[in-house]
Amino acid sequence: MPYADTPAMQEHLDEISRLVAKDAHAVLILDRAGWHTTNKLKVPANITLILLPSRSPELNPVENVWQYLRANWLSNRVFDTYQDIIDAACEAWNKLTASPNVITSIGMRDWAHIGQ
CA-based nearest residue to 59, from 31, 32, 36, 37:
31
Kindly report, residue by residue over 42-62, the tens digit of the pLDDT. 999 999 999 999 888 778 778
Please work out, in degrees rounded to the nearest 5, the angle formed at the alpha carbon of residue 1 by the alpha carbons of 74 and 30: 85
Mean pLDDT by 10 residues, the chain (116 residues): 92 97 94 92 97 84 88 93 96 95 84 62
Residue type, 89: A
Domain boundaries, the chain: 6-53, 60-113
- Predicted local confidence at residue 107, as pLDDT: 79
DSSP string, 74-108: ISS---SSHHHHHHHHHHHHHHHHT-HHHHHHHH-
User: What pTM was estimated for this model as a whole?
Assistant: 0.64
- Predicted local confidence at residue 27, as pLDDT: 93
- Predicted local confidence at residue 112, as pLDDT: 65
